Amino acid sequence: MREHVAGGDRVIVATGCAAPLAQQVCAAAGLSGVEVVASVLVRRRWGPPRLVVPARGAGKLRALGAAGVVLPVEHASSDSATDLPLLRAARTAHDVDVVRGAGR
């Protein structure tokens, strides 16, 4: 990702987790210059936060569209079957096996 950012590419981390967590993880990993598209949660008075804009499955495509991303994207990488809509919306899809550390 760093190479793409350095090369001037628009790099987006799209994740189903909450935006604040995703932003902190990217910062901790030293991924400056990447955009984060993540799920939006709203706090409630009682109980857990309510998921308002899910960035998971097909919702990830809607969240990317709301962020101004035009489909198809050049590349998409994922380690989850829930991201098949995103992988299908990419010119080049990368299935990443994080358990073994090998890309397919």
Query: Which amino acid appears at position 25 of this protein?
Result: V
94 phi, psi to nearest 5 deg: -125, 120
Beta-carbon contacts of residue 41 (< 8 Å; ≥ 6 apart): 18, 19, 49, 50, 51, 52
Measured between alpha carbons, how far is 79 from 16 in angstroms, rounded to an integer? 13
pLDDT in tens, the chain (104 residues): 888 888 998 999 999 888 889 999 999 998 888 999 998 888 788 877 776 777 888 999 999 998 999 999 999 999 888 999 999 999 999 988 766 544 44
Domains of the chain, CATH where assigned? 2-95 (3.40.50.1000)
